[in-house]
Structure 1
Protein backbone atom coordinates (compact mmCIF):
# COMPACT_ATOMS: atom_id res chain seq x y z
CA UNK A 1 0.00 0.00 0.00
CA UNK A 2 1.21 3.59 -0.50
CA UNK A 3 3.16 4.87 2.49
CA UNK A 4 1.62 7.80 4.33
CA UNK A 5 4.59 9.46 6.02
CA UNK A 6 6.25 11.90 3.56
CA UNK A 7 9.82 10.54 3.85
CA UNK A 8 8.66 6.94 3.38
CA UNK A 9 6.33 8.02 0.60
CA UNK A 10 9.25 9.68 -1.22
CA UNK A 11 11.31 6.53 -0.72
CA UNK A 12 8.54 4.33 -2.13
CA UNK A 13 8.04 6.57 -5.17
CA UNK A 14 11.78 6.68 -5.76
CA UNK A 15 12.03 2.89 -5.68
CA UNK A 16 9.25 2.62 -8.26
CA UNK A 17 11.08 5.04 -10.51
CA UNK A 18 14.32 3.09 -10.07
CA UNK A 19 12.54 -0.14 -10.98
CA UNK A 20 11.14 1.43 -14.15
CA UNK A 21 14.58 2.67 -15.18
CA UNK A 22 16.28 -0.69 -14.67
CA UNK A 23 13.40 -2.63 -16.21
CA UNK A 24 13.49 -0.53 -19.38
CA UNK A 25 17.25 -1.04 -19.63
CA UNK A 26 16.94 -4.79 -19.12
CA UNK A 27 14.10 -5.03 -21.62
CA UNK A 28 16.12 -3.22 -24.30
CA UNK A 29 19.35 -5.14 -23.90
CA UNK A 30 17.74 -8.57 -23.37
CA UNK A 31 15.19 -8.15 -26.17
CA UNK A 32 12.00 -8.54 -24.19
CA UNK A 33 12.96 -9.74 -20.73
CA UNK A 34 12.67 -7.87 -17.44
CA UNK A 35 14.56 -7.44 -14.17
CA UNK A 36 11.52 -6.54 -12.03
CA UNK A 37 8.37 -7.51 -13.98
CA UNK A 38 8.25 -11.24 -13.29
CA UNK A 39 4.76 -11.70 -14.70
CA UNK A 40 6.19 -10.85 -18.11
CA UNK A 41 9.11 -13.23 -17.63
CA UNK A 42 6.74 -15.98 -16.50
CA UNK A 43 4.69 -15.55 -19.67
CA UNK A 44 7.88 -15.65 -21.74
CA UNK A 45 8.91 -18.81 -19.88
CA UNK A 46 5.65 -20.50 -20.83
CA UNK A 47 5.94 -19.42 -24.46
CA UNK A 48 9.58 -20.50 -24.70
CA UNK A 49 8.92 -23.97 -23.26
CA UNK A 50 7.71 -25.02 -26.70
CA UNK A 51 11.06 -24.05 -28.21
CA UNK A 52 13.22 -26.26 -26.02
CA UNK A 53 15.29 -26.06 -22.86
CA UNK A 54 17.85 -23.47 -24.07
CA UNK A 55 15.09 -20.91 -24.62
CA UNK A 56 13.78 -21.13 -21.05
CA UNK A 57 17.11 -20.58 -19.30
CA UNK A 58 17.06 -16.77 -19.39
CA UNK A 59 13.49 -16.16 -18.14
CA UNK A 60 13.81 -18.96 -15.58
CA UNK A 61 17.14 -17.56 -14.41
CA UNK A 62 15.73 -14.05 -14.03
CA UNK A 63 12.78 -15.36 -12.02
CA UNK A 64 15.19 -17.31 -9.81
CA UNK A 65 17.37 -14.22 -9.26
CA UNK A 66 14.35 -12.09 -8.37
CA UNK A 67 12.98 -14.76 -6.03
CA UNK A 68 16.39 -15.12 -4.41
CA UNK A 69 16.48 -11.37 -3.86
CA UNK A 70 13.03 -11.37 -2.26
CA UNK A 71 13.98 -14.28 0.00
CA UNK A 72 17.26 -12.71 1.08
CA UNK A 73 15.61 -9.33 1.54
CA UNK A 74 12.87 -10.75 3.74
CA UNK A 75 15.42 -12.56 5.89
CA UNK A 76 17.46 -9.38 6.27
CA UNK A 77 14.41 -7.24 6.89
CA UNK A 78 13.09 -9.51 9.61
CA UNK A 79 16.39 -10.09 11.40
CA UNK A 80 18.25 -6.76 11.16
CA UNK A 81 18.38 -5.20 14.59
CA UNK A 82 18.95 -1.66 13.28
CA UNK A 83 18.32 0.19 10.02
CA UNK A 84 16.83 -2.64 7.91
CA UNK A 85 15.85 -0.23 5.11
CA UNK A 86 19.35 1.19 4.89
CA UNK A 87 20.88 -2.28 4.96
CA UNK A 88 18.70 -3.47 2.09
CA UNK A 89 19.39 -0.37 0.01
CA UNK A 90 23.12 -0.60 0.66
CA UNK A 91 23.13 -4.15 -0.68
CA UNK A 92 20.98 -3.05 -3.59
CA UNK A 93 23.43 -0.24 -4.37
CA UNK A 94 26.31 -2.74 -4.47
CA UNK A 95 24.33 -5.01 -6.81
CA UNK A 96 23.23 -2.19 -9.13
CA UNK A 97 26.83 -0.94 -9.25
CA UNK A 98 27.99 -4.43 -10.24
CA UNK A 99 25.27 -4.49 -12.90
CA UNK A 100 26.42 -1.11 -14.23
CA UNK A 101 30.02 -2.30 -14.43
CA UNK A 102 28.95 -5.46 -16.26
CA UNK A 103 26.89 -3.36 -18.68
CA UNK A 104 29.94 -1.18 -19.39
CA UNK A 105 31.96 -4.28 -20.24
CA UNK A 106 29.23 -5.57 -22.55
CA UNK A 107 27.93 -8.42 -20.39
CA UNK A 108 24.16 -8.68 -20.74
CA UNK A 109 23.85 -11.51 -18.23
CA UNK A 110 26.20 -9.70 -15.87
CA UNK A 111 23.76 -6.80 -15.85
CA UNK A 112 20.53 -8.79 -15.68
CA UNK A 113 21.34 -11.17 -12.81
CA UNK A 114 22.41 -8.64 -10.13
CA UNK A 115 19.77 -6.14 -11.24
CA UNK A 116 17.00 -8.75 -10.90
CA UNK A 117 18.31 -9.82 -7.50
CA UNK A 118 18.39 -6.17 -6.38
CA UNK A 119 14.82 -5.58 -7.52
CA UNK A 120 13.64 -8.60 -5.56
CA UNK A 121 15.58 -7.38 -2.54
CA UNK A 122 14.10 -3.87 -2.41
CA UNK A 123 10.54 -5.16 -2.33
CA UNK A 124 11.23 -5.78 1.36
CA UNK A 125 12.20 -2.20 2.23
CA UNK A 126 8.79 -1.61 3.86
CA UNK A 127 8.45 -5.10 5.30
CA UNK A 128 8.24 -3.87 8.91
CA UNK A 129 6.02 -0.88 8.16
CA UNK A 130 2.83 -2.60 7.09
CA UNK A 131 3.38 -6.24 8.01
CA UNK A 132 3.75 -7.30 4.40
CA UNK A 133 6.03 -6.56 1.52
CA UNK A 134 4.13 -4.07 -0.63
CA UNK A 135 5.46 -4.37 -4.15
CA UNK A 136 7.34 -1.31 -5.32
CA UNK A 137 8.86 -2.68 -8.53
CA UNK A 138 5.69 -3.86 -10.31
CA UNK A 139 2.35 -2.13 -10.78
CA UNK A 140 -0.32 -4.69 -11.71
CA UNK A 141 -1.76 -4.49 -8.19
CA UNK A 142 -1.60 -0.70 -8.31
CA UNK A 143 -3.59 -0.64 -11.57
CA UNK A 144 -6.19 -2.94 -10.02
CA UNK A 145 -6.54 -0.53 -7.11
CA UNK A 146 -6.78 2.45 -9.51
CA UNK A 147 -9.62 0.72 -11.33
CA UNK A 148 -11.36 -0.03 -8.05
CA UNK A 149 -10.97 3.61 -7.07
CA UNK A 150 -12.61 4.66 -10.33
CA UNK A 151 -15.54 2.35 -9.58
CA UNK A 152 -15.87 3.66 -6.02
CA UNK A 153 -15.86 7.23 -7.30
CA UNK A 154 -18.54 6.49 -9.91
CA UNK A 155 -20.71 4.83 -7.26
CA UNK A 156 -20.21 7.71 -4.83
CA UNK A 157 -18.50 5.44 -2.30
CA UNK A 158 -15.57 7.69 -1.52
CA UNK A 159 -14.85 5.84 1.70
CA UNK A 160 -13.65 2.93 -0.43
CA UNK A 161 -11.07 5.00 -2.31
CA UNK A 162 -7.44 4.28 -1.46
CA UNK A 163 -5.35 7.15 -2.86
CA UNK A 164 -1.73 7.16 -3.92
CA UNK A 165 -1.57 4.30 -6.40
CA UNK A 166 -1.72 6.51 -9.48
CA UNK A 167 1.46 8.35 -8.49
CA UNK A 168 3.25 5.04 -7.89
CA UNK A 169 2.33 3.93 -11.39
CA UNK A 170 3.43 7.24 -12.89
CA UNK A 171 6.81 6.97 -11.17
CA UNK A 172 7.38 3.53 -12.69
CA UNK A 173 6.34 4.89 -16.08
CA UNK A 174 8.60 7.91 -15.69
CA UNK A 175 11.53 5.69 -14.74
CA UNK A 176 10.93 3.53 -17.82
CA UNK A 177 10.83 6.58 -20.08
CA UNK A 178 14.04 7.90 -18.54
CA UNK A 179 15.73 4.51 -18.86
CA UNK A 180 14.75 4.28 -22.52
CA UNK A 181 16.17 7.72 -23.26
CA UNK A 182 19.38 7.04 -21.33
CA UNK A 183 19.79 3.85 -23.35
CA UNK A 184 20.31 6.02 -26.44
CA UNK A 185 23.37 7.64 -24.86
CA UNK A 186 26.84 6.10 -25.06
CA UNK A 187 28.26 3.84 -22.39
CA UNK A 188 26.51 2.65 -19.25
CA UNK A 189 24.72 5.95 -18.67
CA UNK A 190 21.40 4.39 -17.66
CA UNK A 191 22.81 1.89 -15.15
CA UNK A 192 25.10 4.56 -13.70
CA UNK A 193 22.15 6.90 -13.23
CA UNK A 194 20.30 4.00 -11.57
CA UNK A 195 23.24 3.48 -9.20
CA UNK A 196 23.22 7.20 -8.37
CA UNK A 197 19.48 7.13 -7.73
CA UNK A 198 19.93 4.08 -5.50
CA UNK A 199 22.58 5.96 -3.53
CA UNK A 200 20.20 8.89 -2.99
CA UNK A 201 17.48 6.51 -1.82
CA UNK A 202 19.96 4.92 0.58
CA UNK A 203 20.72 8.35 2.02
CA UNK A 204 17.00 9.08 2.40
CA UNK A 205 16.42 5.74 4.14
CA UNK A 206 19.37 6.32 6.48
CA UNK A 207 18.11 9.78 7.47
CA UNK A 208 14.59 8.45 7.99
CA UNK A 209 15.77 5.61 10.23
CA UNK A 210 18.09 7.97 12.12
CA UNK A 211 15.05 10.09 13.07
CA UNK A 212 13.07 7.01 14.05
CA UNK A 213 15.85 5.75 16.33
Structure 2
Protein backbone atom coordinates (compact mmCIF):
# COMPACT_ATOMS: atom_id res chain seq x y z
CA UNK A 1 0.00 0.00 0.00
CA UNK A 2 2.87 2.39 0.83
CA UNK A 3 6.28 2.71 -0.81
CA UNK A 4 9.67 3.90 0.44
CA UNK A 5 8.78 7.53 -0.28
CA UNK A 6 5.79 7.31 2.03
CA UNK A 7 7.85 5.72 4.78
CA UNK A 8 10.51 8.40 4.42
CA UNK A 9 7.84 11.11 4.67
CA UNK A 10 6.76 9.67 8.02
CA UNK A 11 10.36 9.74 9.24
CA UNK A 12 10.81 13.36 8.18
CA UNK A 13 7.45 14.28 9.73
CA UNK A 14 8.74 12.88 13.02
CA UNK A 15 11.80 15.11 12.60
CA UNK A 16 9.55 18.14 11.98
CA UNK A 17 7.63 17.29 15.14
CA UNK A 18 10.84 17.10 17.16
CA UNK A 19 11.94 20.49 15.84
CA UNK A 20 8.58 21.98 16.69
CA UNK A 21 8.83 20.62 20.23
CA UNK A 22 12.34 22.03 20.57
CA UNK A 23 11.12 25.57 19.98
CA UNK A 24 7.84 25.22 21.89
CA UNK A 25 9.39 23.84 25.07
CA UNK A 26 12.52 26.02 25.12
CA UNK A 27 11.54 29.41 23.72
CA UNK A 28 9.15 32.27 24.40
CA UNK A 29 6.35 30.49 22.56
CA UNK A 30 7.63 30.93 19.01
CA UNK A 31 5.98 28.89 16.28
CA UNK A 32 8.48 27.12 14.01
CA UNK A 33 6.09 24.79 12.17
CA UNK A 34 2.81 26.73 12.42
CA UNK A 35 3.02 29.47 9.79
CA UNK A 36 -0.74 30.09 9.95
CA UNK A 37 -0.27 31.09 13.57
CA UNK A 38 2.67 33.32 12.71
CA UNK A 39 0.65 35.04 9.98
CA UNK A 40 -2.10 35.84 12.48
CA UNK A 41 0.39 36.94 15.10
CA UNK A 42 2.08 39.26 12.60
CA UNK A 43 -1.22 41.06 12.08
CA UNK A 44 -2.94 40.77 15.45
CA UNK A 45 0.09 41.83 17.47
CA UNK A 46 -0.61 45.42 16.49
CA UNK A 47 -4.18 45.15 17.76
CA UNK A 48 -2.82 43.91 21.08
CA UNK A 49 -0.35 46.81 21.16
CA UNK A 50 2.49 44.29 21.02
CA UNK A 51 4.64 45.44 18.12
CA UNK A 52 7.43 43.04 19.03
CA UNK A 53 5.06 40.10 18.62
CA UNK A 54 4.17 41.26 15.12
CA UNK A 55 7.78 41.85 14.13
CA UNK A 56 9.07 38.49 15.37
CA UNK A 57 6.18 36.62 13.74
CA UNK A 58 6.81 38.45 10.47
CA UNK A 59 10.51 37.61 10.59
CA UNK A 60 9.73 33.93 11.13
CA UNK A 61 7.48 33.98 8.06
CA UNK A 62 10.31 35.49 6.04
CA UNK A 63 12.76 32.86 7.32
CA UNK A 64 10.38 30.04 6.44
CA UNK A 65 9.83 31.32 2.89
CA UNK A 66 13.58 31.91 2.49
CA UNK A 67 14.20 28.29 3.42
CA UNK A 68 11.71 27.14 0.80
CA UNK A 69 13.18 29.39 -1.90
CA UNK A 70 16.83 28.57 -1.25
CA UNK A 71 16.14 24.83 -0.96
CA UNK A 72 14.23 24.98 -4.26
CA UNK A 73 17.13 26.81 -5.95
CA UNK A 74 19.61 24.25 -4.64
CA UNK A 75 17.36 21.41 -5.76
CA UNK A 76 17.25 22.81 -9.29
CA UNK A 77 20.96 23.63 -9.60
CA UNK A 78 22.88 21.25 -7.35
CA UNK A 79 20.71 18.33 -6.26
CA UNK A 80 19.40 16.90 -9.52
CA UNK A 81 20.64 13.48 -8.40
CA UNK A 82 19.38 13.88 -4.85
CA UNK A 83 15.59 14.29 -4.68
CA UNK A 84 15.70 14.77 -0.92
CA UNK A 85 18.70 17.10 -0.88
CA UNK A 86 16.86 19.77 1.17
CA UNK A 87 17.50 17.70 4.28
CA UNK A 88 21.16 18.75 3.92
CA UNK A 89 20.11 22.38 4.19
CA UNK A 90 17.98 21.60 7.24
CA UNK A 91 20.92 19.93 8.99
CA UNK A 92 23.18 22.85 8.11
CA UNK A 93 20.71 25.35 9.52
CA UNK A 94 20.41 23.34 12.76
CA UNK A 95 24.18 23.19 13.11
CA UNK A 96 24.28 26.96 12.63
CA UNK A 97 21.46 27.44 15.16
CA UNK A 98 23.33 25.37 17.73
CA UNK A 99 26.57 27.27 17.11
CA UNK A 100 24.84 30.66 17.44
CA UNK A 101 23.14 29.59 20.66
CA UNK A 102 26.39 28.32 22.20
CA UNK A 103 28.29 31.47 21.18
CA UNK A 104 25.59 33.73 22.62
CA UNK A 105 24.77 31.91 25.86
CA UNK A 106 27.03 28.90 26.32
CA UNK A 107 25.91 25.34 26.99
CA UNK A 108 23.80 25.89 30.08
CA UNK A 109 20.93 28.01 28.76
CA UNK A 110 17.40 26.66 29.01
CA UNK A 111 15.50 29.18 26.86
CA UNK A 112 16.62 29.69 23.27
CA UNK A 113 17.10 33.20 21.89
CA UNK A 114 15.34 34.43 18.78
CA UNK A 115 18.34 34.10 16.44
CA UNK A 116 18.60 30.28 16.73
CA UNK A 117 14.83 30.03 16.36
CA UNK A 118 15.01 31.90 13.04
CA UNK A 119 17.57 29.39 11.78
CA UNK A 120 15.37 26.48 12.88
CA UNK A 121 12.42 27.98 10.99
CA UNK A 122 14.62 28.38 7.91
CA UNK A 123 15.52 24.70 8.16
CA UNK A 124 11.90 23.63 8.46
CA UNK A 125 11.03 25.68 5.40
CA UNK A 126 13.75 23.82 3.52
CA UNK A 127 12.58 20.46 4.92
CA UNK A 128 9.11 21.01 3.49
CA UNK A 129 10.54 20.89 -0.05
CA UNK A 130 11.83 17.34 0.41
CA UNK A 131 9.03 15.83 -1.69
CA UNK A 132 8.41 17.52 -5.03
CA UNK A 133 6.39 16.27 -7.99
CA UNK A 134 5.99 18.23 -11.21
CA UNK A 135 7.62 21.25 -9.60
CA UNK A 136 5.21 21.36 -6.65
CA UNK A 137 5.49 20.04 -3.10
CA UNK A 138 3.64 16.72 -3.00
CA UNK A 139 3.95 16.03 0.74
CA UNK A 140 3.96 18.98 3.16
CA UNK A 141 5.68 17.67 6.26
CA UNK A 142 4.67 20.31 8.80
CA UNK A 143 1.39 21.48 7.24
CA UNK A 144 -0.85 19.61 9.65
CA UNK A 145 -4.00 21.56 8.75
CA UNK A 146 -3.79 20.51 5.12
CA UNK A 147 -3.01 16.93 6.10
CA UNK A 148 -6.11 16.74 8.29
CA UNK A 149 -8.28 18.23 5.53
CA UNK A 150 -7.03 15.59 3.09
CA UNK A 151 -7.52 12.88 5.70
CA UNK A 152 -11.10 14.00 6.26
CA UNK A 153 -11.80 13.96 2.54
CA UNK A 154 -10.27 10.49 2.34
CA UNK A 155 -12.50 9.24 5.14
CA UNK A 156 -15.53 10.49 3.20
CA UNK A 157 -14.34 8.71 0.05
CA UNK A 158 -13.86 5.51 2.06
CA UNK A 159 -17.41 5.82 3.42
CA UNK A 160 -18.69 6.33 -0.13
CA UNK A 161 -17.21 3.07 -1.35
CA UNK A 162 -13.47 3.71 -1.46
CA UNK A 163 -10.72 1.97 0.49
CA UNK A 164 -8.78 2.62 3.65
CA UNK A 165 -5.89 3.79 1.48
CA UNK A 166 -7.89 6.95 0.75
CA UNK A 167 -7.06 8.32 4.20
CA UNK A 168 -4.63 6.03 6.02
CA UNK A 169 -1.52 7.64 4.51
CA UNK A 170 -2.57 11.09 5.73
CA UNK A 171 -3.36 9.67 9.16
CA UNK A 172 0.08 8.09 9.38
CA UNK A 173 1.73 11.34 8.29
CA UNK A 174 -0.21 13.26 10.95
CA UNK A 175 0.55 10.61 13.56
CA UNK A 176 4.25 10.77 12.70
CA UNK A 177 4.30 14.53 13.28
CA UNK A 178 2.52 14.12 16.63
CA UNK A 179 4.86 11.28 17.58
CA UNK A 180 7.80 13.57 16.85
CA UNK A 181 6.28 16.12 19.19
CA UNK A 182 5.97 13.45 21.90
CA UNK A 183 9.61 12.46 21.42
CA UNK A 184 10.68 16.09 21.58
CA UNK A 185 8.59 16.64 24.70
CA UNK A 186 10.21 13.66 26.42
CA UNK A 187 13.68 14.89 25.47
CA UNK A 188 12.85 18.35 26.83
CA UNK A 189 12.26 16.85 30.26
CA UNK A 190 15.90 15.82 30.62
CA UNK A 191 17.92 18.42 28.67
CA UNK A 192 18.04 22.20 28.40
CA UNK A 193 17.38 24.25 25.27
CA UNK A 194 20.92 24.12 23.93
CA UNK A 195 21.22 20.37 24.28
CA UNK A 196 17.75 20.00 22.80
CA UNK A 197 19.15 21.68 19.69
CA UNK A 198 22.15 19.34 19.76
CA UNK A 199 19.89 16.28 19.90
CA UNK A 200 17.66 17.63 17.11
CA UNK A 201 20.73 18.36 14.99
CA UNK A 202 22.09 14.85 15.52
CA UNK A 203 18.76 13.26 14.60
CA UNK A 204 18.53 15.43 11.48
CA UNK A 205 22.13 14.62 10.48
CA UNK A 206 21.49 10.86 10.72
CA UNK A 207 18.28 11.24 8.72
CA UNK A 208 20.08 13.33 6.10
CA UNK A 209 22.85 10.78 5.74
CA UNK A 210 20.27 8.02 5.26
CA UNK A 211 18.30 9.93 2.62
CA UNK A 212 21.31 11.41 0.80
CA UNK A 213 23.47 8.30 0.55
CA UNK A 214 20.87 5.51 0.53
CA UNK A 215 17.35 6.58 -0.41
CA UNK A 216 18.38 9.06 -3.10
CA UNK A 217 20.96 6.72 -4.62
CA UNK A 218 18.45 3.85 -4.78
CA UNK A 219 15.82 6.12 -6.34
CA UNK A 220 18.23 7.31 -9.03
CA UNK A 221 19.28 3.72 -9.82
CA UNK A 222 15.65 2.68 -10.10
State TM-score, norm by structure 1. 0.87
Number of the residue aligned with 2:37: 40
**1:180 aligns to 2:185 (yes or no):** yes
Tell me, in whole angstroms, the C-alpha distance in 1 between the residues paired with 2:87 and 2:162: 38
CA contact (8 A) 1:99 1:115 kept: yes
**1:27 aligns to 2:32 (yes or no):** no
State TM-score, norm by structure 2. 0.83
Which structure 2 residues correspond to residues 55-74 of structure 1 after superposition, within 5 A?
A: 55-74=53-72
> How many residues get paired?
209
- The Cα shift of 1:162 comes to 4.6
Return 5+ residue gaps in structure 1 as ranges. Answer: none
Per-residue Cα deviation, 1:125-175 (whole angstroms, up to 9, x for no partner):
122x45411311221111011111222222223399254111110111011
Per-residue Cα deviation, 1:42-91 (whole angstroms, up to 9, x for no partner):
12222212114333111111111001001111111222254344542222
Tell me, in whole angstroms, the C-alpha distance in 2 between the residues paired with 1:153 and 1:88: 34
- The Cα shift of 1:204 comes to 1.9
CA contact (8 A) 1:182 1:189 kept: no
Gap change, CA 1:157 and 1:186, over 3 Å in 2: closer
Return 5+ residue gaps in structure 2 as ranges. Answer: none
